[in-house]
Chains A and B, each alone.
Chain A
Amino acid sequence: MVRGIGRGGRGIPGRGGMGRPPFNRPRVLMLRPPFDLLLAEPAFPRCKPAPDDSVLTQALLKRHTELCPSPTDQAAVLSLVTKLQAVLDNIVVAPGEFAACQLEEVRQVGSYKKGTMMAGKNVADIVVIMKTLPTKEAVEGLSNKVNEEVNTLMKAEGSGAVVSACHERGFTVTGTSAAVRVLITTLHQNLRKIEPDVHLDYKVISSHLAAIRHSRWFEENAHHSSIKVLIRLLRDMCSRHSGLEPLTPWMIDLLAHHCIMNNPQRQALPINVAFRRALSLMAGGLFLPGCAGLPDPCEAAHSRAHTALDLAAQDLAAATAQTLLRVVARGGHLYVLGLQPFEGGKDISLEITVWDGVVVSPLAPAYNDSPEPMDTDDKDSV
Chain B
Amino acid sequence: MMAANNYFGFTHGGTQYGAATASAAYGGQTGYAVAPAATAATYGTQRAAATGYDTAYQAAAATQAAAHAHAHAAVAAASAYDASKSAYYQQAAAAYPTAAPPQPQPTYDASAAKPAYSTPASYAQGTYSQGAAQRGAAAAKPAYGAVYSATTATASYPTQAYTATPAQTQKQTTNRGNTAYDTALYNAASMYVAQQSKAAPGTGWKNYKTPGTGQPRRAKPPPKAQQLHYCDVCRISCAGPQTYKEHLEGQKHKKKEAAVKLAAAGGGASAAGGARGAAGGALRCELCDVTCTGADAYAAHVRGIKHQKVVKLHTMLGKPIPSTEPTKVGGAKKKVAGAPKIAFVSSGGLRTVATDPASPSAPSTAPSTAHSTPHSPPDKEKDEEKEDDDAEPEVQPVGQDYIEEIRADDGKALSFNCKLCDCKFNDPNAKEMHMKGRRHRLQYKKKVQPDLEVKVKPSMHQRKLAEAKAQRMMVRDELWARRRMHDVYGQGIEEDERMYWEGGIEPWWRGPHHHHHHHGMGMGYGRRPETSDDRHVLTKHAEIYPGDAQLQHIHRAVAHTERALKSLSDALADSARQKTVPAKTKVDDKKDDKADGKEDGRDNQLFSFLAEGEQAGSTSTAGDAPRALKGVMRVGLLAKGLLLKGDRDVQLVVLCHDRPTVTLLKRVAADLPHHLAKVKGPGDEPKYKVELLPAEGAVQVSDAHVGVLVSLTSAVVREPADGGDIKRDDKDVLPRQKCLDALAALRHAKWFQARAATLQSCVIIIRILRDLCRRIPNWTPLNSYAMELLTAGVVQSAGAALSPGEALRRLMEAVAGGLLLEHGPGLRDPCEKELVDALGNMPPQKREDLTASAQQFLRQIAFRQIHKVLDMEPLPKAKHATGAWKFPRKRRRSNTDNEHDAPNGEGKIVKTEEKSDCSDTNKK
Contact = CB atoms under 8 A, between A and B. Distances in A.
Nearest to B794: A35
A16 B887 contact: yes
Contact of B529 (A27, A133, A289, A368): A27
Contacts of A21: 497, 501, 513
Given A21-B501, A100-B401, A326 B819 contact: no
B852 A322 contact: yes
Interface stretch (B242-250, B377-385, B857-865): B857-865
Nearest to A136: B419
Interface string B462-496: 00000000000000000000100110011001100
Contact of B859 (A16, A133, A318): A318
Contacts of B825: 37, 41, 44-48
A301 interface: no
B796 A43 contact: yes
Given A1-B909, A133-B447, A326-B851, A25 B529 contact: yes
Interface residues of B, number: 95
B848 A6 contact: no
A37 B826 contact: no
Contact of A35 (B449, B814, B862, B880): B814
B921 A22 contact: yes
Interface in B388-443: 400-402, 419-420
Interface stretch (A146-154, A175-183, A190-198): A190-198
B685 interface: no
Interface string B838-871: 0010001100100110011011111111000000
Nearest to A318: B859
Given A39-B797, A289-B862, A190 B450 contact: yes
Contact of A284 (B502, B513, B816, B922): B816
A105 B690 CA distance: 90
A100 B400 CA distance: 9
A130 B860 CA distance: 46
Given A32-B806, A280-B817, A284-B813, A363 B822 contact: no
B375 interface: no
B829 A47 contact: yes
A61 interface: no
Contacts of A36: 817
B501 A48 contact: no
Contacts of A26: 529, 882, 921-922
A238 B815 CA distance: 23
Main secondary structure of the interface of B (DSSP, over half): helix
B906 A133 contact: no
Interface string B801-841: 01000100111111011110111111111000001110010
A367 B823 CA distance: 29
Contacts of B844: 356-358
Contacts of A53: 823
Nearest to A53: B823
Interface in A332-382: 356-361, 363-368, 370, 374-376
A299 to B, nearest CB: 22
A190 B840 CA distance: 62
B446 interface: yes
Given A131-B451, A288-B858, A17 B914 contact: yes
Contacts of A22: 494, 497-498, 501-502, 921, 924
A1 B913 CA distance: 12
A329 B810 contact: no
B859 A319 contact: yes
A249 interface: no
A359 B862 contact: no
A322 B489 contact: no
Contacts of B888: 15-17
Nearest to A47: B828
A279 B885 CA distance: 43
Contacts of A32: 798, 802, 806, 810
B528 interface: yes
A311 to B, nearest CB: 7
Interface string B866-906: 00000000000100111011011101100000000000001
A350 to B, nearest CB: 14
Contacts of B860: 366
A215 interface: no
B585 interface: no
Interface centre among A27, A40, A141 (most CB of B within 10 A): A40
A265 interface: no
A44 B828 contact: yes
B594 interface: no
Contact of B864 (A7, A16, A132, A376): A376
Contact of B401 (A24, A39, A137): A137
A47 B835 contact: yes
Contacts of A367: 859, 863
Contacts of B482: 1
A253 B887 CA distance: 43
Nearest to B865: A366
Contact of B880 (A24, A44, A276): A24
Contact of A285 (B806, B816, B822, B836): B816
A285 B828 contact: no
A374 B502 CA distance: 30
A9 interface: yes
A283 B449 contact: no
Contact of B794 (A10, A24, A43): A43
A41 B792 CA distance: 13
Interface in A91-148: 99-102, 131-133, 135, 137-138, 141
Contact of A17 (B449, B531, B906, B917): B917
Interface centre among A24, A133, A280, A291 (most CB of B within 10 A): A24
Given A35-B810, A42-B797, A366-B860, 19 more contacts: A1-B486, A16-B888, A20-B917, A23-B513, A24-B513, A34-B817, A35-B813, A43-B793, A48-B826, A131-B451, A133-B447, A285-B859, A326-B848, A326-B852, A358-B848, A360-B848, A360-B852, A363-B852, A367-B863
27 contacts: A8-B909, A21-B497, A22-B502, A23-B501, A23-B513, A24-B513, A26-B882, A35-B811, A36-B817, A37-B824, A40-B797, A53-B823, A100-B401, A135-B447, A135-B448, A138-B401, A141-B401, A198-B447, A280-B817, A283-B855, A284-B817, A290-B861, A318-B858, A322-B859, A358-B845, A359-B845, A367-B863
Interface of A: 1, 3, 5-10, 15-17, 20-28, 30, 32, 34-37, 39-48, 51, 53, 99-102, 131-133, 135, 137-138, 141, 187, 189-190, 193, 195, 198-199, 276, 279-281, 283-285, 288-291, 311, 314-315, 318-319, 322, 325-326, 329-330, 356-361, 363-368, 370, 374-376
